[in-house]
Chains A and B, each alone.
Chain A
Amino acid sequence: MNTTTLFFQLFQNMLVLLAAPLLLGWVNNCRAWMQGRSAAGIFQPYRSLAKLFHKDAVLAHNASPLFRHTPYLLFVSMWLAAAMVPVLAIDLPLSAAVDVIALVGIFALARVFIALAAMDIGTSFGTLGARREMLISFLAEPALLMVFFTASMIAHSTSLTTIVETLAHKQFVIHPSLAFAGIAFLMVLLAENARIPVDNPSTHLELTMIHEAMILEYSARHLALIEWASAIKLFAYITIGIALFLPFGIAEAGNWGALPFALVILALKLAAAGFGLALLESVSAKLRIFRAPEYLGTAFLLAVLGILTLNLLKV
C-alpha cells in the first residue's frame, strides 16, 4: 500500500460520506416530479441532517447504553461498507481487507444492532419494527449472498476488486446468469433499503412501516446519524450494483489522470440509477407484508437460477 492509493481511499471515503445524502435527495426529487408534486430540492437531506444535529437529544429513561451507541455503530459500519466497494477505482487498500461475504456480514452486524436497539426501549412499535425487519432480512440475506456467488463464480474469486476487474477489463462477454443475478439484486436492494414494494420510506402509518418503526424513539443527533447511515446504505447498495453489473469506466487506484473521467461516469450512473429507482417506486404499489416472503423467495430463486445457468452454459 503506498501513499497514492491511500489518498484514493480517503478521497472515496469522503465522497461516499458527502454524496450519499445528495443521491437520496435526487431520488426524492425525481419521485416528486413523477408524482406531480413540487420537489424540495436535491439538497434537502443535508438541511434535514443539519437541523437534526442542532437539536437536543431526548432519551427514554430506560434506554440502555446499547440504545445510545447503536447510531454510531450503524453509521460506521455503513460507511465502512460503502468505502470498500470499488466504485471509483479498483485496488483500494480497504477492498483487499474484505470480500463480498464479509460485506454481507457488515450489513448483518448493523441490522442486528438496530433491531436490538429498537427493542431496547420496550415500546410495541419498536418490537414490531424489529420483528418485521428480521422477517425481511433473513430472507433477503441468502438472496444477496447468492447474487454475490454468481459474480464470484464468473471471476473465480470472492474479492470485489477481482470481480470488478474481471467484469470490466476482459473482452465483451454476455453472461446470461448476470441477468438473473441483476434482477435478484434489484429486488434485494428494494427490500433492504426499505423501498416501496416492501416498505414505504415516507410513511409513518403504523400498519405498514418497518424501518421507521424501529427508529421512532430516536431524536436529534442519533436520528441524524441513522438517517445518514440509511442514505449511505442506499448509496452502498447502488454502487455494489454498479460494480457488479455496469463496471465500465472505472479507474485504477493511483491513476490520477483517469479519476475525473471515472467521477463523471459514476455521477451519470448514479443519476440514472436514482431516476430508475424513483420510477420503479412510482409505478409499483406496496406489497402486503405477508407477500414479502414470496417476493424475497422469488429473488432468492432468481439468484439460484443464475448460478445454475452459469454452470450449464459454461462450455
Chain B
Amino acid sequence: MTLAQQLINLFAALLLLISFAMLSQRRVLTLINLFAWQGLILAISAAVVAWTSHQHHLYYSAGLTLLLKVLVLPWLLHRLIRKLQIKWDVETLFNIPTTMLIGIVMVVFAFNLALPISALSATVTKSTLGIALACVLLSFMMMITRRKAVPQVIGFLAMENGLFFAATSATYGMPMVVELGIALDVLVGTFIFGIFFFHIRETFDSLDIKHMEKLKED
C-alpha cells in the first residue's frame, strides 16, 4: 500500500469518526463546527486523490469544497443560529446510545454492500467506498432522528459530503459541470433553508418540525 493510499484510508476513517460524532452531538454549535471539520478533511482527501491519480479537475473540486463547506456554509449557519438565537440542546427522538447502536448496524450494512462494488472498481481509493456509503447512511439517520430544523439541515449537508466522498472514491469525482451544479444547489439550498427557518419560527414560534405535521390550525 502506498503512502497516499494509507493517507486516504486515514482520512476516510476520520470522516466516519466525525459522522459518528455528529450523530452523538447534542449542541447545535458543535454540530456546525464538526460539519466544518468534515468539509476540511473531505477537501484534503480530494486533494490527495488528485495528487496521486493526476486528475487535475479534482484539485478544483477540492478547492471548491474548501471554500464552500469549510468557510461559507459554516459561516452562514453560524450567522443563522445567531440571528435565530438558538443555542439549545438538540432534541433527539431516540436516546443517543440507541442511535449509536443503530449506526453501527448501518455501518456493517454499508460495508457489506460496498464490498462487491469496490471489487469492480480499479481506483486507488476503492476500499473507502464502504466508508463513504456509511457516512451517507449515518447523515441520513441524523436527519431522521433529529426533531429540530437546523440539525436536520446539517444532516442534509453532511449527506452531500458523504456523496461527494463516494464519488471521489469510486470514480475519481464527477464531471466538473455536475460538481459545480451540486455546489450551487447546496449553497442556494442553504439560503432557502435559512429563509424557511424564519418562516417556520414566525408561524409556529418554534423550530420544532412536529408542528408542521398538522394540516389545519386548531
Contact = CB atoms under 8 A, between A and B. Distances in A.
Given A293-B97, A298-B24, A312-B127, A179 B1 contact: no
5 contacts: A301-B100, A304-B104, A305-B107, A312-B114, A314-B127
A298 to B, nearest CB: 6
Nearest to B114: A312
A239 interface: no
Given A180-B17, A305-B104, A308-B111, 6 more contacts: A176-B12, A301-B20, A304-B104, A309-B131, A311-B111, A312-B130
Contacts of A315: 1, 5, 127
A208 B104 CA distance: 31
B9 A308 contact: no
Nearest to A179: B13
Contact of B104 (A173, A174, A180, A301): A301
A297 B7 contact: no
Interface string B104-132: 10011001001100000000000110110
Nearest to A304: B104
A206 interface: no
B125 to A, nearest CB: 11
Contacts of A293: 97
B97 A176 contact: no
A311 B114 CA distance: 12
Nearest to A301: B100
Interface in B29-84: none
Contacts of A308: 104, 107-108, 111
A172 to B, nearest CB: 9
B14 interface: yes
A294 to B, nearest CB: 5
Interface residues of B, number: 29
A177 interface: yes
Contacts of B114: 312
Given A293-B97, A297-B100, A309 B6 contact: no
A312 B6 contact: no
A179 B10 CA distance: 9
A313 B104 contact: no
A313 B111 contact: no
A176 B111 contact: no
A178 B205 CA distance: 47
Nearest to A183: B17
Interface of A: 173-174, 176-177, 179-180, 183, 293-294, 297-298, 301-302, 304-305, 308-309, 311-315
Contacts of A305: 16-17, 20, 104, 107
Secondary structure of the A side of the interface? helix
Given A176-B9, A309-B13, A294 B96 contact: yes
Contacts of B108: 308
Which 9 residue pairs of A and B lie closest in terms of their CB atoms, listed nearest first? A176-B13, A174-B6, A297-B97, A176-B10, A313-B9, A312-B130, A301-B100, A312-B111, A313-B127
A309 B96 CA distance: 22
B16 to A, nearest CB: 7
B115 to A, nearest CB: 8
A174 B107 contact: no
Contacts of B16: 305, 309
B7 A174 contact: yes
A181 B100 CA distance: 17
Contacts of B6: 173-174
Contacts of A309: 12-13, 16, 131
A313 B10 CA distance: 10
B104 A179 contact: no
Nearest to A177: B13
B100 A298 contact: yes
A309 to B, nearest CB: 5
Contacts of B95: 294
A115 B134 CA distance: 41
Given A179-B10, A179-B13, A179-B14, A312 B131 contact: yes
A286 B5 CA distance: 40
A177 B131 CA distance: 12
A174 B9 contact: yes
Contacts of A313: 9, 12-13, 127-128
Contacts of A314: 127
Contacts of B1: 173, 315
